[in-house]
Every structure is written in structure tokens, then in C-alpha cells.
Structure 1
């Protein structure tokens, strides 16, 4: 009986527990449905829906004549999921695939590729890295090959697209163009105009389908707005000759760094900006924008002292000054010329021979009692503030004033010769450019226009900083002094037969960034303009030597760079406005050959009474003469390592020609070649990417 009651009790307890559990389940279900339901449904949807960013295409950077300096190209990392490839398919097609890959990439034999593919297949790898950083044309070819042409689900072909920022000209103007890096510091034009180049990203909603495939939801896509293009004032030809000229001297003397600025006189447009620094392995790279870093300029600053004295009507450049043998004492210090022995000279000759004693003596004589007047004259030339160039990173000059704690009795005379003040090479170029421009000071600038879909939407005009840095008499005297430097002074060795140069050498001992004057580091410079009678370009060359270098004078290391650059600009026709026969009349003993039309050379040769044979093509590469002094004009040829001219060619011919030179070709558009990213005649390296615009 007790057993029967015990069983009945247990059944009742179990029944009650089951009922309570059922009631709890019903209550919980009701709670979820009414309270937590919407939130849980939202979370469930999120597991099957996602928002994807559609990146905007970053804008390109061009030169003023249309050469492509920087662009964005698609690249692809390719992986393989071998688990989805059927064994019979793999074994049947692997030989063909390996052969095609060897043919496409040319970096390994078909047997090597077959072994790699077989290794991945045997491991049943789901994400086997096949190739990295493939250009678009190689990616397109690879995905069409056996096995991979079956797609992702049957052929295991997995692509990871990305955008790479490329510079078709390599190191050329690299620091000026800058570097765009996601999640890192951007520099140069890429930083200054980041919002213009970047555009606005788009987005779309994607839904997860069976099999784990994500597909876009119709109507959810917001298109990205691609970035706009920058058109710079740079000229690839001038930039290239400036880089080559500077590089040759830096390598010859193992200098620490150098910078070159080429500015268009009338506008302030920067046509070339080169910055080369020595690396640990002895090579040189565009590593820092030295043109915008203030340093003690040395003797090139004497032009500023001369401007001040002339504007205040204290002197005339024909006045005489005693150079005191090249040594003069101020307080407890002695100012010395680099070469002693100069006596009584005209101020013009003292400037031409770069007498420290003479310029310091004049500044001390007229400004010792009113140094603020001299400082204010410096400020009128805007040497106490940034130039305002449209490039991030420019530093402010360092100008000591009589109110400064570091001002002393020797500050004024030393400042007059380019010490106790720090200005950037860009500031110095701006002042010399004003002298070349008959007194009108122009702001240097790098961006010519902003374009959208090939149409200019904003143009940048030349900007006048000062209408006149002096009256006409002052400017004439300044021009006479700078010309005299190249006639009889420290720059006479770079004067040539075809055009005249005007400018000033500079040599300064360096004491900054842990370097002491006693370390024997110098800054040699030459800043000037040409042709002197009708200036077209201002060129500033500033070079910092290694410690205790055997060559450090500005006339030795910087002036020859100026001459090399000026010669090549002049030979290209960009530095001369007159007719060709006027050049020919300058001399019959020396001629510069350049790529030009045969008709232009016919004019030149006729002017000097030379006979000429014209080749079949209208363009020529060189001039040659035989024993009868008859000159042959021969057609241009394609040279190894030089960019051929493919403009107007069909795509097939252009690609064949470029790939034959070992170049990688990226194509935009359809039709014939309208534009090539590297101008004809410029040097190219094997493996370099060339962009062809078709139309």
C-alpha cells in the first residue's frame, strides 16, 4: 500500500513539474515575441546582411603638358581553394595551366609551376597564395586559363583586389608629388590636396546567400564620387635634367644632400623641384624636401644686403669700397674673405668677387646705429615668413632682430653676408626671381589647375607678392651686379657662348642639427637666371657637402649644376624666344643637337652656310658631318632604355613595342594611343609601368 502511494506521489510531482516547465516555456516565448523579438530579429538579419564600402578612385597628378606623374592602378592578390577542384579536372588541366603561367609571368619554368600547384592540391589548401600584386592585364589573363576559368566555386580562383598608387617616372619629383598611405602619414601634394584627390566613398548593402556568397541588394548602392585630378606646373623634361645634373655632382663629391628649384620668371611657376639625400648605402633618393628647410644661406644673401642699401639710396654700385685685403674686424671677431688680397673695388666688383669684408663693412657703416631699418628691409622681401607655396611642410625662416637675446655687436655684419639668419632655398630663389622679373616678386606655386573628367574646374593664376622690390634704378644696378658675377667674378667659369647667365655663388659653413662649424661641413650654392638679357628661368642650386670635403665652394659644386640644367633647357628651345638663325650666328664652331623637326634644323644650318641631307622622317636624332663638312640629318631611332613615341599607334603595336623594352603596360580606354604616361625620349627601366590612354 505504501508503495502504491509512493508511486502516485511521484507521478503527481512529475506532472506538476512538467506543467510548470510548460508554463515557463510559454511565458518565455511570449516575452521574446513581444519584448526581445525585434532586437533578436535585427541581430539575425545582421548575420545575413552587411554594408560594404565602395572606394572612390583617387585622382591622378599630371604635368602641365599632360604627362602622368601619379595614378591609381588596380592590383590583385590571387589565392586558390584547391578543395573545390575535382581531382580529374586538376590532373587533366594542370600541365596546360602551368605552361600558360610560365608564359605569362616568365619567372619560372612550366615544371616549377606544376610542382607548386600540385603541392597546394595535395595539401588541400583552401587559401593557397598563387601570385601577389598582379596588374590588371595579368589578372585577366590568369582567370581565363584552364581550371581557373571555372570560377571560384569550381575552379577555386579567389582574387583580392586592391589599389596601388604608382609613379610612372619612378623617383622623379617623388618627394614633391608625395606619398599616399592609408592609415599612415601622407606627404607632398598627396597630403596638401588630399581632399581633392580622395573623392567620396560609396556604399552598398549585401545579403548572404546559400553557400556563403554575398550578393548586392538591388537598389541599395550609393556610387562613389571619384577624386579630381591635379595638373601641376612641373615640366618632366626640366625635372629630369635638373635631377640628372644634381645627381652627377652629388655622386662625384659624395655630398650629404642637394636641392634644385627651377622657376618660371614671369609667373612663379615651379618647373622642377629636386630633393636628393644620401642614403646609408651611398645611393641618393628623394627623401626630404630640402628646398623648404631654412638654413644659413651664405653669400647668396648678399643680394638682399645690396637691395637694402640701394633702396635706402646709401650707395651706387659704381661707388668704391675698400675690401681691406679681405679681412676686417668687428668687435672681437674678424670677418674674412674666402680669398684674401682684395683692395679697393667698385661695389659691383666686390659683389662679383663675393667679398665678405666689403658687404659686411657697408652694412655696418650704414645700419649699425639703426639695425631695425635693415631688418625691416629684409621683412619687405618677405624673408621672415613662409613663401606660401601650395605644398605642405614649408618651415618658417629664422630672423634674429635687435630685440632678440642672441643679438650682438657682430650679428649685423654677419647677417649681411648670409649668417645669423636662416631662409629656405625657395625664399632665395624668390628674391633672385624678382630681380630677373624687373622687380616684380611672384609667389612660387606648383598647381596649375584642378580637373574633373578631363575638364578644368579651377585654375590657379600667378600671384604677385610685391609689385616692385625696388625702383627701376635699383633693379638695373642689381641686374648689373648679378651679370658681373658670371662675367668676371666667382661664376665666370660657367658662362657659355650661346646665352648669358646672371646670378651669385654662395658658400656657408654649416652649424645645425648636431653639426658644428669645426666639423667642416659646407653649403655651396648658386642662384641665378638666364638668359640674362631676357630671363626665362630662375634656378637655385643648394648642396650640402660631406665633412671636410675637398670641394665645397658654391662656384665649384653648385654653379656647374646650374650650367648643366640651363644648357639643356636652352638646347630644348624652352629657354630661347628668338629665331634659330640668331643662335647660329653666335658661333659656327659649336652646335647643340636636339630632337627637333628637320625643317627647324634646315633654318639653323642655312644660317651658317652648311649643306644638309634630310632623312626620310621629319624628326631627327642627331647631326653628323663627314670630311667635306657636309652635315647629315638622320631619322630618330628607338634606343635601349629610352621611352619610344607610341602616340597615334594602335594598341597592338604600342603594347608590342613597349613590352619588347621590358615595360609593363596598363591601358585605359579604347582605340588608338592618345597619351602615354612617360614622354618620348625619357629614360625607362625594365619592369616600369607605362599607362596608355586610348581614344
Structure 2
């Protein structure tokens, strides 16, 4: 069947329309896709711009922060970083040892240990642990068990365990024992030289003696260094300066001799106990330069256990307490009178036993009948009346000036701590009253320290020079080479050598024929003077029945060099005098001195004639 032309035309037209519609749809879809793609591209661009903006602003912020950290705060932050990475360390430096003149150790730092116990870590029962360590530590087993059961951990058993005990405990290999090492000052001679050494407290600071006065010499100069730390906090020793842990081997050497020190303490302790005395002291000085070879006081203390001692013992009374010397000052008054030419060695004085001065009656310590005495015999018999007459020949101002030249009323220039000034009346008070020179002539009415009396007698022993008493020789190394020697004041010439020797020879008669016979040693020429003085009261006047006995010696007479003083405070008994209490102490000390210094015997001299014979 054939289609009509109109129908064919209609169909072609429909086809054309469809194709056109299809083409328009394609074009519309293409435009839609184009718009979609264009929108997506725009979105991508916007996102990129946003991201770039964020990066730019972040970069600017980071740059500003870097600028702030590195430029503005850079120095401060670098310092903080260094402080975090570095640490200041000052290594522990042991205190320098103290030795005597022969290098015998008197004080030294030694390691000790704090022992903590932790019972919860014991691998044995508390009873078994206690039985193992009790004999080593000299402790009671039951006490240790009670301590172990009181706490599970962290019990301090002792804070000063010696190294030898530590080694024995370590060898047991017990769990639950913790040892912490530290250093402690140790005095191997115990109380032998405590009066000179003093002690060191828990803060390692000297509190008395040369431990206190020579702190700067005893403390080693520790170098503070900065070390780097690793990330875990460990120190990096590779960055430490070379030799920063080096410690010198210097020792503080004293002039003391431990043999003399021991002899003096033994003799002094015996007499103090025998006469039930309050206290006593001994001083030995080499008068050529003022070196103190021995200085002992009794009672004393053990510096290893200073916490148990009486506080009053930490102050050395031979240096820090005043007393009236009594008759031991008479030889110095004789020297003053001889030096001024108001007496001659062979002058003779009448001694009726009493003498009136102003409104006072002055008596001798012992009653004696009327007799004549020369200068030496006035010393032998310790005549107060004779001494008053001698000093009365001096004008008061001149006498006072001489007392000041000797150093009365002043401090002794010494390296021992806590020294005090002596007491002397004012010049106006002294010169305006005749009683003041009179009482001073036999050692009363003024006060000084025992050390100062030894210094003054040293001027008689060394040819008239006032030297500086001292105990410090210097800093010495292991080879004996001195690295530091203290500068002492130049000795002052007080008396002529002739006057000094004359007085020493007069003092020899005190030992040979007078009140000092108890100090005699066969074959040796010893000069001396006894003293039995009333004890002054802090409230004025004198303490009834209380006295201070003393004896001072100079030897050897043919070539004087050494001064030895023994002093005993408040000995009890009717026969307690300088010649009975103090002179035997001096004899024992001199016997030791002769051996130590190898002093040869001397030649005897003819005694000074007695005018009464």
C-alpha cells in the first residue's frame, strides 16, 4: 500500500521536528553540562583561594611567631634552654686535716654512713637480721627487733656509721639495708687537744678552737662548674673542665707536740682529781718565737661527741678567762725595778712581816719573824712586804707606764679564738692611790689571762722580748713544703737581756731553796715562781676560802728558752698551795719536755749568799 504524498510529507515533517527537538535537547543538555562544569571550576577556584589564603595567613602568623621567639624573646629563651640543659655543681671538698708539729693527725674528714633499714624488703625474719647485725654494731638484739617491727620502711638506725662497720655490714649482703655516704670530722686523739682544736658542727662549721678561728685555712676552695645534662637528666662529664675534681693535699700544721700534750693532760688531771679542784690548765711555750708546744685544760671534752659536753668547756678559759696572777707576777715587777735602776740584785730589805700603806696593813702570806732579805730571797719566800718596798721606789706614773708596756689591760694577739682584754685600773685611779701600786706589786688588783702571763714570762726567757703566743705553724703539703706561714707581729723589746737573765737566775733560787722545790729535776737548772692567790669575786672583793694555785717555770737557766705554766683553780685541802699543787705538774711536764726537746743537763751555779748567815 502506497502512502500518500501528504502523509509522507507529514511524517517527514514530524521527523524533522523530532530531530530538531532532539538537537535542541542536546544543546540544552550541553549548556547545562557547561554551566555545571563552569560552576564546579568556580568552586574549585574559590576553595583554592581559601586554602591559599589560609596558608598565607598561617605563614604570616608563623613568621610573626618566629620573629617573636627568635628576635624579641630569643635571648631570654636561649637562657632558659641553657638552664634546662646545664646544671651547676660544686663538688664536695673535704676540710683540710689538722696535724701537730710532727705531722701526727689531730683532725681529719672521714666517710661515715647513715644506715636506713626497710623491713618490708628483708629476705629473712627481723629476728634473724637483728642477730646478724647486732654484734657488728654493738647493739641489743631485742632492741633492734623492736625497731624493725615499728615501721615497714625508712627507719634511720644510725647517722654516723664508721667505714669499718659499713664494710662488715655490706659483706653480709642483706636486703633491706640502705647506706648513704657523707663526711664527718674525726678527732683520732679524742680529748687530747680539744682545748686547741675545738669542733665542727653538723653544718661543717667550726664552733671553737682553731676549727673556728682558722676556718678560711681549713676550708678548701671548691670550684663551681656547669655541666651539660643529657635528655634523661644524666650528667655529661665529657664537658667538665679538666681537673675540677682535684683536691690539694695541704694540711694545717700546729706548733703543738702531741707527746707534750699527753704528758701535760695526764699530770694535770691527776692533780685536779687529787685536790678536787674546779679546773686546771697547763701551757708550754717556746719563748724564742711564741710557739705553743702544749695547751691543756681540765676538765675537757671529746670533740667527736661534742653534743654530750658542757657548753662552758667550748671556751678555752686559759685564753678567755681573767684571773689575778698573785705571786707569779712578782718576777716581772722585779724586772721593771731593775730596768729602772731603783734596785740592784744585791740590795737588802727589812721584812718585819707587815707594812702599812695609807690606811691598809699588808701582810705576808706566811707569818715570819723580822729579818733581812735580798731580792732573790724576796722571790724565794714570796714576800709581799719586800715587793711593796721595791715598787715604792718607783714613781707611780712610771710604774703604770711599764705595766702598759707589758700589755696589761690589752688583748693577747693570738690565733686562738675568744681572747679577752686584761683589766687594769685607769692611770688616774692607779697613780692617785698608794694602795694600787702596792697591791699590784704582789699580783693583785688587776687581772689577765693565763696565756698572757706566759707571754710576759716569755720576755724573761728570751732576753726581754714580748713575742706572740700562737699555735698555727702554717699550711704544709705531703712533702713537708710550707705553702703558707702566718705573719706574726715583730717582737717588742721590753727588758734588756741582762735584766732578763738576772731575774731568771733569781727565780732559780726559788726552785733550789724556796717554795718551788717540788719542781726540781736532778742535773737541770730550772727557774720558777709559785703563786697562791685569792680568787676575785665577780661582785667585787674576794671569795672567802677560794684560791688559785699556780707555778711558772723557765728553763734551762743557762740558756733560757721554754716557759711552763700550771694553774689549778680552787683546789681543796689545807695544804693546797702553788708549791704543792702546781709545781709537781710542772715537774712532770718538764721531764717530758726534756725528752722531746733533748735538753742536756746544765751546770750548777753557786747560790746567792744569805745576808742573815
Return the TM-score normalized by structure 1. 0.67
Q: Is the 8 A contact 1:259 1:276 kept in 2?
A: yes
Decide whether the 8 Å contact of 2:355 with 2:363 is kept in 1: yes
Look up the match of 2:105. Answer: 68
Does the alignment pair 1:267 with 2:289? yes
> For 1:310, which of 318, 338, 343 is the aligned residue?
338
Matched, 1:290 2:317: yes
Matches within 5 A, 1:75-94: 75-81=112-118, 85=121, 90-91=122-123
1:249 to 271, 283, 287: 271
Report what 2:12 is aligned to. none
More contact order relative to length (CA 8 Å, sep ≥ 6):
2
Instruction: Please give the alpha-carbon distance, in whole angstroms, between the structure 2 residues aligned to 1:143 and 1:204.
Output: 33
3-state secondary structure, aligned to 2:579: helix
Q: Call closer, same or farther: CA 1:505–1:323 in 2, change over 3 Å.
A: same
| Cα distance change, pair 116–417 in 1 and its aligned pair in 2 (3 A) | closer
Aligned to 1:557: 581
Residue 81 of structure 1: CA displacement? 4.5
State the alpha-carbon separation in 2 of the partners of residues 510 and 348 from structure 1. 26
Q: Which position in structure 1 is the counterpart of 2:528?
A: 503
Deviation at 1:410, TM superposition (A): 0.8
Deviations 1:545-601 (A, max 9, x none): 06x75344212221121112222333x35352369xx99xxxxxxxxxxxxxxxxxx
- Pairing 1:165–2:190 present: no
1:233 to 248, 251, 255: 255
Post-superposition Cα deviations, 1:118-166, rounded to whole Å, max 9, x if no partner, equal: x37xx542x2324431122332443343244xxxxxxx55333222111
How many residues are aligned here?
530
Asked which structure has the greater CA Rg, the reply is 2
User: 1:465 maps to what in 2?
Assistant: 491
Rounded Cα–Cα distance in structure 2 between residues aligned with 1:140 and 1:524: 51
- The answer to whether the 8 A contact 1:267-1:462 is kept is no
1:270: how far off? 0.9
5+ residue gaps, structure 2, are 1-60, 302-307, 605-613
Q: Does 1:193 align with 2:214?
A: yes
Q: Assess if the C-alpha contact under 8 Å between 2:111 and 2:181 holds in 1.
A: yes
1:617 aligns with none
Q: Equivalents in 2 of 1:519, 1:323: separation in Å?
A: 27
- TM superposition shift of 1:389: 2.0
Shift of 1:499: 1.8
Within 2, Cα distance between the matches of 1:188 and 1:554? 28
Tell me the secondary structure at the aligned position of residue 254 of structure 1.
coil
Aligned with 2:343: secondary structure? coil
The residue that corresponds to 2:416 in the other structure is 391
What is the Cα deviation at residue 363 of structure 1? 0.9
Listed as ranges, the matches of 1:516-527 within 5 Å are 516-527=541-552
Q: Quick check: 1:299–1:508 contact (8 Å CA) kept in 2?
A: yes
Whole-angstrom CA distance in 2 between matches of 1:508 and 1:174? 28
**Alpha-carbon shift at residue 429 of structure 1 (Å):** 1.5
Instruction: Decide whether aligned partners of structure 1 residues 569 and 284 sit closer, same or farther in structure 2, where only a CA change above 3 A counts.
Output: farther
Q: Which residue of 2 aligns with 1:567?
A: 591
Change (3 A) 1:178 1:372: same
What does 1:358-397 align with in structure 2 at a 5 Å threshold?
358-364=386-392, 366-367=393-394, 370-397=395-422
Aligned partner of residue 540 in structure 1, secondary structure: strand
CA distance in 1, matches of 2:130, 2:239: 42
Residue 104 of structure 1 is matched in structure 2 by 136
Cα distance 1:162–1:184, how it changes in 2: closer, same or farther (>3 A)? same
Of 165, 177, 180, the match for 1:138: 165
User: C-alpha separation between the residues in 2 aligned to 1:380 and 1:278?
Assistant: 34
Cα separation, 2, equivalents of 1:513 and 1:277: 22
CA distance in 2, matches of 1:479, 1:441: 16
Deviation at 1:260, TM superposition (A): 0.8
1:174-227 CA-partner distances (Å, limit 9, x unpaired)? 02112222376622111221111111234466899999x976775357547568
- Residue deviations 1:103-128, cap 9 Å, x none? 5334345x9767865x37xx542x23
Structure (1 or 2) with the greater helix fraction? 2
Task: State how far apart, in whole Å, the 1-side matches of 2:270 and 2:524 are.
Answer: 23
Q: Confirm or deny: 8 A CA contact 1:524 1:557 kept in the other structure.
A: yes
CA–CA separation in structure 2 for the residues paired with 1:345 and 1:417: 16
